[in-house]
């Protein structure tokens, strides 16, 4: 650790003490340890947003994550609480792959291609507030990586087909888990007429998947699983469901960040794991479980570069400003969008 880093850490700790009871720091599992060490609450995106809402008493919520996560926290927390993102460059490339304008245009095309069929929209929580509002106003629901199968089942009980965005891999993996066949799963390619599909193909589809993806989980490959099974017989492979179907189907388990953590925690000492998710979570599990053999599935670390925008320096900048009575980088979702998005979030909680 450099002297500069040590000074920043000391200043953050001092500011946290000064702002105790006023500022609550949330950190996503993919956050770097330099920032993660200062978290008051840790977890996946929706869990953190809900816990922030339930905390009630903190006027300042500092979300060390990415933009859509801070939006969800603003939607769920009270109006007198300010949600702050330490670096406004911390976005989500996958969420950006589906704008509300693109989805609205595709929705119109899909309705025209499938007259008389009821379409239920489902959006992954990794999406903008505007997308969540679009879904909420059309009777759809948000889902997470841990409940996507349940939400898909709910949607198919209420409609003829599901339009799922923005992550095609989570949508395909969840559809396959429900027994939906390949010929009933259609990929909607952005910026192509009818998503590059014929009317007949769309009409018989059960799930229609937006062709978005997470650049981190796109890096996991079949060859990596083969490598670890040959190297360590009996090793367990666990992977996040944002990964391609070809990889997920060969894993022993798949699950959300919380699911991966729980599986490793519950395993026997001496067990071996190769984990397919963001590197900071895997490194943390290695540190927390020295009695287990934990490896990165990929040969090179898969990093969420936008999550890495949040640094100790800009966390300190936020805290310094709050100590002076100034709120910087506040994330505020307008009332109309927040209302529609909350409908979709509430439906998921009911499911």
Whether residues 226 and 270 fall in one domain:
yes
Give me the pLDDT at residue 45, please: 87
Sequence-ordered list of residues with C-beta below 8 angstroms from that of 10, at least 6 positions apart, any chain: none
- 99 assigned to some structural domain: yes
CA-atom Rg of the chain in angstroms: 21
Whether residues 201 and 127 fall in one domain:
yes
Which residue segment(s) compose the domain that 254 sits in?
A: 217-296
Whether residues 101 and 203 fall in one domain:
yes
In the structure encoding, which two tokens stand for residue 52, read together?
Answer: 């922030």
Whether residues 104 and 196 fall in one domain:
yes
Give me the pLDDT at residue 4, please: 82
Whether residues 61 and 108 fall in one domain:
no
pLDDT digit string, tens, across residues 173-220: 999 999 999 999 999 999 899 999 999 999 999 999 999 999 999 999
pLDDT digit string, tens, across residues 39-62: 999 999 889 998 988 987 899 999
- 231 assigned to some structural domain: yes
Whether residues 100 and 201 fall in one domain:
yes
Q: How many CB atoms lie within 10 A of CB 11?
A: 16
| pTM for this entry | 0.95
Whether residues 19 and 103 fall in one domain:
no
- 144 assigned to some structural domain: yes
- 337 assigned to some structural domain: no
Whether residues 206 and 113 fall in one domain:
yes
- 342 assigned to some structural domain: no
Beta bridge mates, 33: none
CATH number, position 231 = 3.40.50.10800
Q: Which residues of the chain have pLDDT under 70?
A: none
CA–CA distance from 118 to each of 90, 111, 206, 340 (Å)?
36, 9, 11, 20
Whether residues 254 and 236 fall in one domain:
yes
301 three-state secondary structure: coil
Whether residues 44 and 128 fall in one domain:
no
Whether residues 285 and 315 fall in one domain:
no
- 180 assigned to some structural domain: yes
Whether residues 280 and 312 fall in one domain:
no
- 278 assigned to some structural domain: yes
- 346 assigned to some structural domain: no
The tally of domains found in the chain comes to: 3
């Amino acid at each position: 650790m450099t002297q500069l880093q040590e000074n920043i850490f000391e200043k953050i700790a001092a500011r946290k003490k000064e702002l105790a009871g006023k500022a609550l720091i949330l950190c996503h599992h993919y956050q770097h340890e330099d920032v993660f060490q200062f978290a008051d609450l840790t977890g996946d995106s929706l869990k953190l947003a809900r816990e922030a809402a339930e905390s009630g008493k903190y006027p300042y919520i500092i979300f060390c994550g990415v933009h859509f996560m801070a939006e969800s926290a603003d939607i769920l927390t009270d109006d007198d609480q300010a949600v702050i993102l330490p670096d406004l460059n911390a976005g989500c490339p996958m969420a950006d792959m589906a704008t509300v304008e693109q989805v609205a245009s595709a929705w119109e095309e899909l309705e025209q291609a499938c007259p008389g069929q009821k379409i239920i929209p489902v959006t992954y929580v990794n999406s903008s507030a505007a997308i969540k509002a679009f879904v909420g106003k059309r009777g759809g629901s948000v889902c997470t990586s841990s409940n996507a199968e349940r939400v898909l089942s709910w949607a198919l009980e209420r409609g003829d087909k599901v339009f799922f965005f923005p992550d095609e891999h989570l949508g395909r993996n969840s559809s396959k888990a429900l027994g939906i066949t390949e010929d009933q799963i259609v990929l909607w390619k952005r910026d192509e007429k009818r998503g590059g599909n014929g009317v007949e193909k769309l009409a018989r589809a059960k799930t229609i998947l937006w062709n978005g993806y997470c650049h981190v989980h796109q890096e996991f490959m079949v060859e990596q699983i083969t490598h670890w099974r040959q190297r360590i017989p009996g090793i367990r492979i666990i992977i996040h469901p944002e990964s391609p179907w070809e990889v997920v189907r060969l894993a022993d388990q798949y699950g959300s960040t919380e699911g991966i953590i729980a599986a490793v925690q519950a395993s026997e000492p001496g067990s071996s794991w190769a984990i397919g998710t963001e590197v900071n979570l895997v490194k943390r599990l290695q540190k927390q479980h020295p009695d287990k053999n934990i490896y990165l599935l990929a040969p090179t670390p898969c990093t969420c570069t936008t999550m890495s925008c949040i640094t100790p320096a800009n966390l300190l900048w936020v805290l310094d400003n709050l100590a002076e009575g100034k709120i910087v980088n506040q994330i505020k979702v307008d009332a109309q969008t927040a209302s529609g998005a909350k409908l979709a979030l509430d439906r998921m909680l009911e499911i």
